[in-house]
Amino acid sequence: MAKITHVSPLAPAGGFPELPPIAGVRFATAEAGVRYQGRTDVALISADAGSTVAGVFTTSSTRAAPVLWCEESLRNSTLVDDKGFAILVNSGNANAFTGAVGADSSRRCAEAVAKALEIPSNHVFLSSTGVIGEPLPDDRIIAKLPLLEADLSDSAIADAARAIMTTDTFPKGAVRKLDLDGKTITLTGIAKGSGMIAPDMATMLVYLFTDAPVATELLQQMVSKANASTFNCITVDSDTSTSDTLLMIATGKADIDRLDSEEDPRALTFGNALHSLMLDLAHQVVKDGEGATKFVEVRISGASSDADAHRIGKAIADSPLVKTAIAGEDPNWGRVVMAVGKSGAAADRDRLSISFGDILVADKGWVSPTYQEQDGADYMKNSDIVINVDIGLGEGSATVWTCDLTKQYIAINADYRS
Amino acid sequence: MAKITHVSPLAPAGGFPELPPIAGVRFATAEAGVRYQGRTDVALISADAGSTVAGVFTTSSTRAAPVLWCEESLRNSTLVDDKGFAILVNSGNANAFTGAVGADSSRRCAEAVAKALEIPSNHVFLSSTGVIGEPLPDDRIIAKLPLLEADLSDSAIADAARAIMTTDTFPKGAVRKLDLDGKTITLTGIAKGSGMIAPDMATMLVYLFTDAPVATELLQQMVSKANASTFNCITVDSDTSTSDTLLMIATGKADIDRLDSEEDPRALTFGNALHSLMLDLAHQVVKDGEGATKFVEVRISGASSDADAHRIGKAIADSPLVKTAIAGEDPNWGRVVMAVGKSGAAADRDRLSISFGDILVADKGWVSPTYQEQDGADYMKNSDIVINVDIGLGEGSATVWTCDLTKQYIAINADYRS
């Protein structure tokens, strides 16, 4: 957006990574003037016939029209393998809380793309991100379709990563390569998101691509599984978007036998690469958290269950008091204790141990005799902070990632729309 | 604290109210140097024999030693009517997450007060508020007991309200009078709290007094009931303290028949006055929310149940994006929609209506045709904001109070301890 002029201090030092083309996937971007002039704000992604697709979406009960459209399309068993797919994304307007008018906008966009690319309209996936409650100027987007179609290129993924940004301060991309059956398989992905980010859903906009041939059902299984420990484990501000969407397309262009089942040992190798790719992108989203100056990993162990561990991790990562202490480089472990206590998960004060990085701060219910406040204060000056909490009750564990809460977050969000 | 030099713009215009004495209750304060020099930080409250007592406490699983002490004392059926009670409160140190050492500190404090006032030690209630995880210098507090006992006065309640402050910017007090059996009954109360405030517990430190004679069991019933719709319905930052305590003492000095049962019609009259007193103090706590510039009332109607309404109200009131928009005087109702969606309560986007004050912003799923953005923007300049959300599904309703989220909150909490 015009207002965001800084770049997150946590942005990848190397800038946007070199993302190799995925055979069968092409990208184009345009300036449709959805909300702002002078920036690309629409991206069209096409995938060749033979591709498969999977997705996960926000669980918000007020989710936006394009999310409902995507869910309906994925549920629809009429998806076929011998047609291609497309994804149309715009920034500047979320087409959320726009009622029947919004649903009509989505349908018109999908039908226009379907006509242009000669695919069924339920093979067109849609995402809109930006302001809530204003009608989407779909006519401006549709008017750009001839230009977008003509520009489709397998090397324009970086442009697409930029076109979908809103309050993001850097475009997000990642790549993984693996060897299957002696062939090199590539996975790439782009993401956007830096506010209204919280766990318990597929967070923000994420598009993943691979040339591996993967059966639809297996692709969905692997995406959902990896999502649970990546995008569902990050939080910037505990707020849940109405538009969060993650879509993955597998084009099947790589010349190997199709991955059909989790029993196939190659699925494990592929799944690990997919998890690594998604974790990379999830971390980039946190590192672009609005106003973030610290990247924080909260590791919970010894909880009664994994679910309890996740709940405690989220309580810590969402706590404004923990997050402001981190912003202030204050090793205020008392606030970590507070957050454990409020999580609702089983916890026993006198079994709790807390470390900042390798520094044991609190041990079995009280400050550690070895702890020196200065050590904690020195550690908090790092830009990457690890908070370890051992609940001391069982075997449950989880890791959650977040960022600090700074005045810059307030500045960004107190005048985002006005 | 030394760092807090401003006073909340939402502080009561008239300053601390005139609180009449309650026969049978006396107050004293002292400078014990618990954490800071040059300020009162200990308050002793004594109640004559014949008093009854009730309380509600934080539900945190990491609650502090004095909270555990109070809960144990209230559970203990050995409380007797023919001895008095006492409350000893300190600021500067929460005696929380201090293990067995903390429990010993609490016990020593209670026993010292018991000895000085010649009452059983389980008739002494304790509260500590301030930094977590540091040993309480109970020797410094106990050393002041002779002075405190000598100073006990029925007119020093305002001093007590000041002694228990931490990041509070103004002392909080309220009074209600009612007529029962032709006699004037008085209720007074003081409170502290401005951060780590969230619903689902008895929030922060609150002490209430009345000269009415009320049976212990009825007093507890009335306190718990009023608490559910007052202190349990406020939130500053969604964080839950380890020390929250509300205690009420009824001295029975008023010359009327004892209130024994909810069936007694006088109990309704008294309960209404008690609710009004507690709501007043709860609102004062929100108005002193750290960094607050706006007092926000979130009214939910039409939810599937009262519990769902409360959940939605809390999701809105806790949302950093809603709270920063209010700080920025931005009528960003899209964020209200977002918060409804993330609450987990039943909601249907297309039945949702939202008003800011009397201004209908969104009606049945979309922006109202009568809504003018300028009207919304003008309304948001008020210091008292009402957000009405009609879910359109049922009869459930709830009201939650909160404040905005400003840079000042970050400033206060990023360097509170260092």
Residues in B touching A347 (Cβ below 8 Å): 61-62
Tally the domains of chain A. 2
The answer to whether B247 touches B202, Cβ cutoff 8 Å, is: no
Tell me which residue in A330, A333, A342 faces B60 most closely, judged by beta carbons: A342
Same domain (yes/no): A164, A105: yes
Is the model more confident about A388 or about A80? A388
State the binding site of B for substrate. Answer: 166, 192, 203, 290, 413, 418
Residues A200-215: b if buried by 16+ CB within 10 A, e if exposed:
bbbbbbbbbbbbbbbb
Residues of B labelled as active-site residues: 203
Residues of chain B with pLDDT under 50: 1-4, 197-203, 418
CB contact under 8 A, B333 and A133: yes
In the block, tokens 């507070």 appear at A338
In the three-class reduction of DSSP (H, G, I as helix; E, B as strand; rest coil), residue A112 is classed as: helix
Tell me which residue in B318, B319, B349 faces A97 most closely, judged by beta carbons: B349
CB contact under 8 A, B413 and A60: no
Identify whether B99 is part of a domain.
Answer: yes
Identify whether B10 is part of a domain.
Answer: no
Identify whether B305 is part of a domain.
Answer: yes
| Domain ranges, residue B181 | 25-287
Give yes or no for B409 touching A (CB within 8 A): yes
3-class secondary structure per residue, B31-84: CCCCCCCCCCCEEEEEECCCCEEEEEECCCCCCCHHHHHHHHHHHCCCCCCCCC
The answer to whether B79 touches B73, Cβ cutoff 8 Å, is: yes
Identify whether A325 is part of a domain.
Answer: yes
Contacts of A352 (CB under 8 A, 6+ apart): A337, A340, A362, A364, A365, A389, A390, A391, A392, B62, B97
Residue B226: half-sphere exposure toward Cβ, Cα within 13 Å: 28
Task: Name the amino acid, one letter, at A217.
Answer: E
What are the tens digits of pLDDT across the range A193-214?
765 544 333 247 889 999 999 9
d(CA B355, CA B375): 11
- CB pairs under 8 A, 24+ apart, for B73-77? B73/B122, B73/B123, B73/B124, B73/B125, B76/B122
- Tell me the shortest Cα–Cα distance from A144 to chain B, in angstroms: 27
- CB pairs under 8 A, 24+ apart, for B263-266? B266/B180, B266/B181
Give yes or no for B402 touching A (CB within 8 A): no
Same domain (yes/no): A234, A193: yes
Q: Answer with the one of B268, B287, B306 that is the final residue of a domain.
A: B287
Provide mean pLDDT across the span A339-368.
90
Same domain (yes/no): A281, A338: no
Question: Scanning every residue of chain A, which has its alpha carbon at the shortest distance from the alpha carbon of B407?
Answer: A407
Q: ipTM exceeding 0.95?
A: no
Identify whether B15 is part of a domain.
Answer: no
Please report which confidence band the pLDDT of residue A3 belongs to, taking 50, 70 and 90 as the band edges.
very low
Tell me which residue in B330, B352, B415 faces A415 most closely, judged by beta carbons: B330
List Cα–Cα distances, A173 to A58, A228, B107, B143, B266, in angstroms: 21, 20, 58, 63, 69
Give yes or no for A406 touching B (CB within 8 A): yes
Query: Does pLDDT of A44 surpass 90?
Result: yes
**Nearest alpha-carbon partner for A411 in B325, B315, B373, B412:** B325
Same domain (yes/no): A276, A317: no
Residue B302 bridge partners (DSSP) = none
Same domain (yes/no): B88, B137: yes
Residues 261-280 of A with CB under 8 A from B: none
CB contact under 8 A, B96 and A334: yes
Which pLDDT does position B342 carry in this prediction? 82
What are the tens digits of pLDDT across the range A303-329?
999 999 999 999 999 888 899 999 999
The CATH number linked to B334 is 3.10.20.340
Same domain (yes/no): A153, A255: yes
Give yes or no for B389 touching A (CB within 8 A): no
Which pLDDT does position B61 carry in this prediction? 76
Identify whether A163 is part of a domain.
Answer: yes
- Tell me the shortest Cα–Cα distance from A239 to chain B, in angstroms: 6
Tell me which residue in B132, B340, B406 faces A337 most closely, judged by beta carbons: B132
**Nearest alpha-carbon partner for B256 in B177, B184, B175, B154:** B184
Same domain (yes/no): A248, A350: no
CB contact under 8 A, B319 and A198: no
Same domain (yes/no): A201, A268: yes
Q: Answer with the one of B248, B271, B287 that is the final residue of a domain.
A: B287
The answer to whether A199 touches A167, Cβ cutoff 8 Å, is: no
Does A127 count as an annotated binding residue?
no
Q: Answer with the one of B263, B287, B311 that is the final residue of a domain.
A: B287
The CATH number linked to A239 is 3.60.70.12
CB contact under 8 A, B339 and A239: yes
List Cα–Cα distances, B338 to A97, B134, B349, in angstroms: 9, 40, 10
What are the tens digits of pLDDT across the range A89-128?
999 898 988 888 999 999 999 999 999 999 999 999 999 9
Which pLDDT does position A202 carry in this prediction? 28
Same domain (yes/no): B83, B222: yes
CB contact under 8 A, A62 and B352: yes
Identify whether A392 is part of a domain.
Answer: yes
Same domain (yes/no): A318, A361: yes
Which pLDDT does position B115 carry in this prediction? 97
Residues in B touching A294 (Cβ below 8 Å): none
Provide mean pLDDT across the span A377-384.
96
User: What percentage of chain A carries pLDDT values higher than 90?
Assistant: 62
Query: Does pLDDT of A282 surpass 90?
Result: no
Counting every residue, how long is chain A?
A: 418
Does A166 count as an annotated binding residue?
yes
Which pLDDT does position A201 carry in this prediction? 30
Please report which confidence band the pLDDT of residue A353 belongs to, taking 50, 70 and 90 as the band edges.
very high
**Nearest alpha-carbon partner for B222 in B401, B56, B22, B67:** B56
Q: Which pair of tokens denotes residue A152?
A: 């489709």
Same domain (yes/no): A37, A152: yes
CB contact under 8 A, A346 and B320: no
Q: Which pair of tokens denotes residue A12?
A: 């990848």
What's the mean per-residue pLDDT of chain A? 88
Alpha-carbon dihedral sign for residues A392, A398, A401, A405: negative
Same domain (yes/no): A29, A125: yes
Identify whether B93 is part of a domain.
Answer: yes
What are the tens digits of pLDDT across the range B324-382?
999 999 998 888 988 898 888 999 888 999 999 999 999 988 889 999 999 999 999 99
Does A413 count as an annotated binding residue?
yes
